[in-house]
Amino acid sequence: MQEVSARKRHARRLFAPLGASYDRSAALLSFGQDGRWRRFLVSRIEAGPDDTVLDVATGTAAVAIELVRRTGCRVVALDQSPDMLSVAAERVARAGLDGRIELVEGEAEGLPFAEASFDALTFTYLLRYVDDAAATLRELTRVVRPGGTVAGLEFGVPRRPWRPLWELYVRVGLPLAGRALSRDWYEVGRFLGPSIRDFYARLPLERQLELWAEAGLADVRARRLSLGGGIVTWGRR
């Protein structure tokens, strides 16, 4: 069994208690932009009722549900957290999509699927939590059939002139807003800014695009959303 890194253990501990409140609080803390980013992510995927899409780091299954509603496809929704998958199961059942969405516990770094098993793949807020983004992108690409699309959503660091406002929000506003919600969300509010900043210091967007291409994806593109607060990247296998 693969050893869980300190980075992933911390993420599990931080987000495990938040499943029930995750979607509502994420919408509040992002000023409603999180849902908009996820919808744009889904719009990058070409799929239909006969296709199966893998949604990695599915969390509460928000993207998986949007994929089914928009395209009619089947979705296999994978996450490392049993706590999040429990909330996802409730959401999927309430949406009446039990027959279209299968929930699977697993790791993005070692997917339990054969090569070219899926017609497309999505992932959300994943790469900051893995130790080797290049290897993880190769693994995600491996399970997608030739011609299929891989699309991912990550938080972004805005460019100037918006960077100072972003810094003010993540340093002061986000922790205060999190504290107003709960002690657990206060910890998330303190964590996110440094985590996002560190990720882009290690892997600027230009380098991330190179990693996507090196993983075997063609026509790789990225779109900055909400002044750069969110970034959707996609490419074709």
Where do the domains of the chain lie, and which CATH numbers do they carry?
Answer: 31-159+203-236 (3.40.50.150)
pLDDT on residue 178: 74
- For residue 44, which of 28, 25, 14, 67 has the smallest C-alpha distance? 67
Taking each helix axis from N to C terminus, what angle separates 133-142 and 205-214, rounded to the nearest 10 degrees?
40
pLDDT on residue 130: 93
Count the neighbouring beta carbons within 10 Å of the beta carbon of residue 149: 20
Which residues lie closer than 8 Å to 180 by C-beta, 6 or more apart? none
| Assigned token pair, 153 | 């959503």
Number of H helices, E strands in the chain: 10, 7
CA separation for the pair 91, 97 (Å, rounded)? 9
- For residue 154, which of 85, 222, 59 has the smallest C-alpha distance? 222
72 and 98 Cβ atoms separated by less than 8 Å = no
Helix (H) or strand (E) holding 223: strand 218-225
The list of the chain residues with pLDDT below 70 reads: 1-5, 7-8, 10-22, 24-29
Helix (H) or strand (E) holding 8: helix 6-15
Three-state SS for 66? helix
CA separation for the pair 20, 111 (Å, rounded)? 26
pLDDT on residue 97: 97
What is the chain's length? Answer: 237
Look up residue 147 and give its amino acid. G
CA separation for the pair 77, 95 (Å, rounded)? 15
